[in-house]
Amino acid sequence: EQFHTIGDLYCQLWYDDRKYPVVVGPAEYDRIYPFIGHPDMWVSHFVLCKLPEATSLPYGVSVVPSKCAKPANQLLVLNRDEVVKTDTHALCISPMNNNFKEWEMVIEWIEIHKLLGAKEITLYKFWISHDTNKVLESYLKDNNDNTVNVINWPYPPLKSNVWCQRGALNDCLYRMGHRHKYVTITDMDEILVPRRQGEDWPQLVKRLHALDTEIGAFLFQHISGETHH
């Protein structure tokens, strides 16, 4: 329980027109996965910083244990400019781990999901092989392909629960949900495949929404590649 109780936190908000930060707090925080069965040192939390009234958005935020504490780092505020959310699909994958070597699988996985309708794919790099990393770098360097994002996710392997997977997926949900109406979450060994011939994700969702327009989320059953009778 000691690693799940972190005490008071304060937010230092950094603005373009100020030399020193504006301090607000104590901040609210909530554990993303409230389970004490894993007494891990690295646990993911939401830290909620209230913005002062009648101010612009800050460009950075630091989280400190007291009002006058010196910040150890600064998180940049993403999506400061207004973005129109489009009726498109994004895809998030759990952190790639265990020195992931299947670089051919990465290519296949990315290209299949492009065909299925994923307009933006975000991967979290925890521990992968040299060859897998070269594949990801090639996607990032391709000026004609703005589909793939790669986020470094450097958590101590022995001090995080499932590579802080829940933190990564929540991070991706907020990143992608700002621009896309639909965000799909899978693992590297999963592919969401519509069962109707020739159907992609946009067509699948359109068909499902026609059945019930009040649906807020879809949960699809996992099955193995084996044939069942």
Q: Report whether 76 contacts 59 (CB < 8 A).
A: yes
Residue 129 has pLDDT above 80, yes or no: yes
Q: What is the pLDDT of residue 46?
A: 86
Angle (nearest 5°) at CA 148 between 143 and 150: 110
Q: Report whether 100 contacts 132 (CB < 8 A).
A: yes
Q: Enter the tokens of residue 181.
A: 């109406």
Q: Report the alpha-carbon distance of residue 193 to residue 15 in Å, rounded.
A: 45
Q: Enter the tokens of residue 55.
A: 């101010």
Q: What is the pLDDT of residue 229?
A: 41
Angle (nearest 5°) at CA 134 between 133 and 140: 90
Q: Report whether 83 contacts 180 (CB < 8 A).
A: no
Chain segment 155-193, per-residue pLDDT in tens: 766 666 677 888 899 999 999 998 999 999 998 888 999
Chain segment 73-122, per-residue pLDDT in tens: 999 998 888 888 899 999 999 999 889 999 999 999 999 999 999 999 99
pTM of the model: 0.83
Q: Enter the tokens of residue 14.
A: 């950094």
